[in-house]
């Protein structure tokens, strides 16, 4: 998923309370691998999720501290995509592809295995 390092606090003029909002300038968009821990209700599934306290902060693939998780997938081709996250993601995908290839080779070897008759 896509994620940001910071949010902006804006004051609700009706309630007078401060609440986090998306920054005007995103700067870099980072990648977080697992955002499944975020509780997303169906009707608000497209909302950004703000991690407001140090106990909630997450980390991007590049190691950046994350305070906002967006409800969109990380797109390495985006101009704002963090370069280090792009590289980390490529490395993860490559490792995964190698694992899948190895598993496939093992499966084929096992399939074609014929016991030797002595
Ligand atoms: Zn990053």
C-alpha 68 – ligand 1 centre gap (Å): 13
Could you tell me the distance, in angstroms and rounded to a whole number, from the CA of residue 41 to the centre of ligand 1? 27
pTM flag (> 0.75) = yes
For residue 65, give both structure tokens.
């501290």
Q: How many residues does the chain have?
A: 118
**How many whole angstroms from 100 Cα to the centroid of ligand 1?**
26
What pLDDT score was predicted for residue 5? 96
Using the predicted structure, report yes or no on whether residue 88 has a pLDDT greater than 90: yes
The CA 103 to ligand 1 mean position distance, Å, reads 30
Burial class (CB in 10 A: 0-12, 13-18, 19+), 50: middle
Encoded tokens for 63? 């190691």
- pLDDT the model gives residue 107: 93
| Range 97-107 average pLDDT | 94
Cβ burial, residue 14 (10 Å; 0-12/13-18/19+): exposed
For residue 32, report the distance from its CA to the centre of ligand 1, in Å. Answer: 8
Residue 25 alpha carbon to ligand 1 centre in Å: 16
Please give the Cα distance from 32 to 20 (Å, whole number): 20
Taking 80 as the threshold, does the pLDDT of residue 115 lie above it?
Answer: yes
Tens digit of pLDDT for each residue in 20-72? 999 988 889 999 987 777 777 767 778 899 999 888 899 999 999 999 999 89
> Residue 116 Cα, ligand 1 centroid: separation in angstroms?
53
């Amino acid at each position: 998923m896509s994620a940001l390092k910071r949010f902006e606090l804006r004051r609700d003029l009706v309630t007078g309370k401060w609440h986090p909002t998306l920054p005007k300038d995103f700067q870099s968009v980072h990648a977080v691998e697992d955002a499944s821990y975020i509780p997303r209700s169906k009707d608000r599934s497209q909302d950004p999720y703000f991690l407001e306290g140090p106990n909630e902060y997450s980390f991007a693939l590049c190691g950046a501290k994350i305070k906002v998780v967006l409800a969109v997938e990380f797109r390495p081709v985006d101009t704002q995509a963090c370069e280090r996250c792009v590289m980390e993601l490529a490395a993860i995908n490559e490792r995964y592809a190698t694992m899948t290839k190895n598993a496939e080779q093992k499966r084929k070897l096992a399939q074609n295995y014929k016991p030797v008759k002595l």
